[in-house]
Chains A and B, each alone.
Chain A
Amino acid sequence: MVVAKLQEKDKGFLERRRHLLRLGAAGVPMVLTLKASATEPVHSALDCAFVIPSATNILVDVDGKAWIGDGDIQEKNSGELKTSDVTSFKQNAEFVFPSGSAPDQFRPDECSTGDDDDYWGNDCGWGNDYDEPTGDNDDQGSCQADPDRNTPWFEEEGEDGEPGNRGNSYSGSGNDYQHGGKGKGKGKGDDDDGGSAWTDCYKFYQISSNTTISPADYLSGNGSWNLSGANGLYLALAGKYLDTYGNDGGFPGISCLLSILNYLEYQ
Chain B
Amino acid sequence: MTVSANPNNDHWLWGVYTNHMVTHSFGDTTFVYNRQSGTTHIFNLVSMAMIEFLSEKPRSMNEIIRDFPAYMGVDAAECPAGVVRRLFGELDEIGLLELVQS
Residues of B within 8 A of A4 (CB): 23, 25, 30, 48, 52
Which of the residues A3, A14, A18, A32 comes within 8 Å of B41, measured between beta carbons?
A: A32
Residues of B within 8 A of A6 (CB): 49, 52
Chain A interface residue count, CB cutoff 8 Å, equals 27
Contact A17 B41 (CB under 8 A): no
Compute how far the CA of A236 lies from the CA of B21 in the bound complex, rounded to whole angstroms. Answer: 43
Residues of B within 8 A of A77 (CB): none
Contact A21 B78 (CB under 8 A): yes
Interface flags, B30-61, vs A, CB<8A=1, else 0? 10000000011111111111111001000000
Contact B55 A31 (CB under 8 A): no
Residues of A within 8 A of B55 (CB): 1, 3
Contact B74 A18 (CB under 8 A): yes
Chain B interface residue count, CB cutoff 8 Å, equals 37
Which of the residues A18, A30, A41 comes within 8 Å of B78, measured between beta carbons?
A: A18
Which of the residues A17, A22, A29, A33 comes within 8 Å of B73, measured between beta carbons?
A: A17
From 1 to 22 in chain A, residues with beta carbon under 8 angstroms from any chain B beta carbon are 1-7, 9, 13-14, 16-18, 20-22
Known contacts A31-B42, A33-B41: A17-B21 contact under CB 8 Å: no
- Nearest-neighbour CB distance to chain A for B13, whole angstroms, equals 18
Compute how far the CA of A122 lies from the CA of B83 in the bound complex, rounded to whole angstroms. Answer: 49
From 73 to 102 in chain B, residues with beta carbon under 8 angstroms from any chain A beta carbon are 73-74, 78-80, 82-83, 86-87, 90-91, 94
> Is B10 an interface residue when CB atoms closer than 8 A count as contact?
no
Which of the residues B23, B42, B83 comes within 8 Å of A24, measured between beta carbons?
A: B83
Compute how far the CA of A5 lies from the CA of B52 in the bound complex, rounded to whole angstroms. Answer: 7
List the interface of chain B (C-beta within 8 A of A): 16, 18, 21-23, 25, 28-30, 39-52, 55, 72-74, 78-80, 82-83, 86-87, 90-91, 94
